[in-house]
C-alpha cells in the first residue's frame, strides 16, 4: 500500500486558533504522519481550545509555574485547555499510522507528559486539572474562560482526552530518541578524562531548587577530592519575591551560600536548552568566592535569594553561564567539582 509522508509543522497547529475546536489532519488509512517532538513542545504548540485564548492560557502557565507546580501538574491543566495535547493529535490523525520521535525534557520520559503527550494516552482528566488549580491556590486567579472550560468538561459537555485502549492509538508508535541520560553520561565521561573520580547521583533531581542545591553540596563535601558529582533533572521555584531568574540560577545562588573556601567546590547548574527562566542565561557556575564578588558590587546573596532575584546577583558576581540556544532540551545538568 502506497503511503504518503505528512510532516506536521508544530507552529502551524498553534497558529490555527481561529479554526474549529477539533484539529483535523485529513490523513487517511494509507498515510504516515511523522511527528517530531522536542523539549518545550507544550509551550511552542499551545493550540488553546475555545473559549480560552492564547494570552489566557499563558497566564495560567505563569501562575502555575510561580506556584511551584511540577511539570506533570502543569501539563494536566495544559492538556485540558488544548485542542491537540493529551492524545488529541492521535485522535485527529486516525486512521493514519503515526510515528512520534521525541527528545525528552521530562524526568523518567513519560510519553504522556513530554510536550503534553499529543500522541499518547492521557491518564489525567478534567477533574485532575481542576484539582491542580485548587491545590496550587490559583483557582480564583485564573481567567474566567479557563474555569468555564474545566467546569464544562466536569459536566461532560466536552469530550475527554483519549485514554489507554482507545482505538486512536492502535496505529501509533512513540519513540524517545534522546533524554537526560545522554547529558549525564557525557558529563561523567568528561570528568573521568579530566582526572576526577565521577559520582553519578541521579537523573531525577527535583523539588525546590534551593533545597536541592544544599543537599547536593552537602553530598559533594563528603567526597574525597578530586571528585565530580553529576546529577540531572528539573527543580522548581516557588516564587515569593519580585526578582528575576530561573531554577538553575536559584540553585546556583543557594549553592554559593553553602560554599566555604576550604571545600574547594565549584558548582554548575544549567538548562540544556541554553535558557533558564525569563533570562538570557542557561544557568551559572559558582564557587566559594562568588559571595565576595557580588558583595563587592553591592549585592547581598541572602537578600537576592529571598526576593528570587538570582539573575541580578549572579550578573553582579560575574558567574552567569550564557550559551545561547542549544536547539535541544534534555532537562537540566548539575555538576559539583571538589578539587
Please, which pLDDT band fits residue 12 given cuts at 50, 70 and 90? Answer: very low
Q: How far apart are CA 315 and CA 24, in angstroms?
A: 47
pLDDT over 90 at 27, yes or no: no
Predicted local distance difference test score (pLDDT) of residue 26: 77
Mean per-residue pLDDT, 221-238: 96
Q: How far apart are CA 166 and CA 93, in angstroms?
A: 13
Q: How far apart are CA 330 and CA 321, in angstroms?
A: 17
Please, which pLDDT band fits residue 160 given cuts at 50, 70 and 90? Answer: very high
Q: What DSSP string runs through 48-72?
A: BPTT--HHHHHHHHHHHHHTT--HH
Predicted local distance difference test score (pLDDT) of residue 24: 59
pLDDT tens, residue by residue, 293-317: 999 999 999 999 999 999 999 999 9
- Give SS3 for 201: strand
pLDDT tens, residue by residue, 245-263: 999 999 999 999 999 999 9
pLDDT over 80 at 4, yes or no: no
In the chain, % of residues over pLDDT 70: 93
C-alpha cell at 225: 577530592
Query: Is there a contact between 337 and 266 (Cβ–Cβ < 8 Å)?
Result: yes
pLDDT over 60 at 145, yes or no: yes
pLDDT over 80 at 10, yes or no: no
pLDDT tens, residue by residue, 47-83: 999 899 999 999 999 999 889 898 889 999 999 999 9
Q: Which long-range contacts (CB under 8 A, 24 or more apart) does 312-315 make?
A: 312/243, 312/244, 312/245, 313/253, 314/245, 314/249, 314/252, 314/253, 314/281, 314/284, 314/286, 314/290
Please give the torsion angle defined by the CA atoms of residues 247, 252, 258 and 260, in that order, rounded to the nearest 10 degrees: 180
Please, which pLDDT band fits residue 2 given cuts at 50, 70 and 90? Answer: very low
Full strand arrangement of the beta sheet holding 332-338:
197-205, 227-233, 332-338, 265-271, 283-286, 320-321
Predicted local distance difference test score (pLDDT) of residue 25: 66
pLDDT over 60 at 216, yes or no: yes
pLDDT tens, residue by residue, 105-143: 999 999 999 999 999 999 999 999 999 999 999 999 999
Mean per-residue pLDDT, 186-208: 97
Q: How far apart are CA 131 and CA 145, in angstroms?
A: 17
Average pLDDT of the chain to the nearest whole number: 91
pTM beyond 0.85, yes or no? no
Amino acid at each position: 500500500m502506497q503511503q504518503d509522508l505528512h510532516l506536521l509543522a508544530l507552529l502551524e497547529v498553534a497558529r490555527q486558533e481561529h479554526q474549529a475546536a477539533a484539529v483535523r489532519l485529513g490523513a487517511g488509512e494509507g498515510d504516515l504522519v511523522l511527528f517530531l517532538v522536542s523539549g518545550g513542545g507544550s509551550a511552542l504548540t499551545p493550540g488553546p481550545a475555545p473559549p480560552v485564548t492564547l494570552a489566557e492560557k499563558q497566564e495560567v502557565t505563569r501562575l502555575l509555574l510561580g506556584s511551584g507546580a511540577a511539570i506533570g501538574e502543569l501539563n494536566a491543566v495544559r492538556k485540558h485547555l488544548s485542542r491537540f495535547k493529551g492524545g488529541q493529535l492521535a485522535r485527529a490523525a486516525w486512521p493514519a499510522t503515526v510515528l512520534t520521535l521525541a527528545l525528552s525534557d521530562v524526568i523518567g520520559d513519560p510519553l504522556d507528559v513530554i510536550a503534553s503527550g499529543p500522541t499518547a494516552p492521557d491518564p489525567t482528566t478534567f477533574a485532575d486539572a481542576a484539582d491542580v488549580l485548587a491545590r496550587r491556590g490559583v483557582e480564583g486567579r485564573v481567567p474566567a474562560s479557563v474555569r468555564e472550560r474545566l467546569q464544562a468538561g466536569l459536566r461532560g459537555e466536552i469530550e475527554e482526552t483519549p485514554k489507554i485502549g482507545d482505538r486512536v492509538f492502535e496505529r501509533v508508535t512513540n519513540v524517545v530518541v534522546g533524554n537526560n541520560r545522554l547529558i549525564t553520561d557525557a558529563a561523567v565521561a568528561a570528568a573521568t578524562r579530566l582526572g576526577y573520580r565521577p559520582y553519578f547521583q541521579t537523573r531525577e533531581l527535583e523539588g525546590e531548587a534551593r533545597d536541592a542545591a544544599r543537599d547536593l553540596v552537602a553530598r559533594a563535601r563528603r567526597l574525597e577530592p578530586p571528585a565530580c558529582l553529576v546529577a540531572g533533572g528539573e527543580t522548581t521555584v516557588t516564587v515569593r519575591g519580585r526578582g528575576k531568574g530561573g531554577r538553575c540560577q536559584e540553585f546556583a545562588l543557594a549553592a554559593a551560600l553553602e560554599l566555604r573556601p576550604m571545600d574547594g567546590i565549584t558548582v554548575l547548574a544549567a538548562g540544556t536548552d541554553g535558557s533558564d527562566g525569563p533570562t538570557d542565561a542557561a544557568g551559572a557556575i559558582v564557587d566559594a568566592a562568588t559571595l565576595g564578588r557580588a558583595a563587592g558590587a553591592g549585592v547581598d546573596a541572602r537578600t537576592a535569594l529571598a526576593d528570587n532575584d538570582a539573575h541580578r546577583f549572579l550578573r553582579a558576581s560575574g558567574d552567569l553561564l550564557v550559551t545561547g540556544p542549544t536547539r535541544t532540551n534534555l532537562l537540566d545538568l548539575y555538576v559539583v567539582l571538589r578539587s
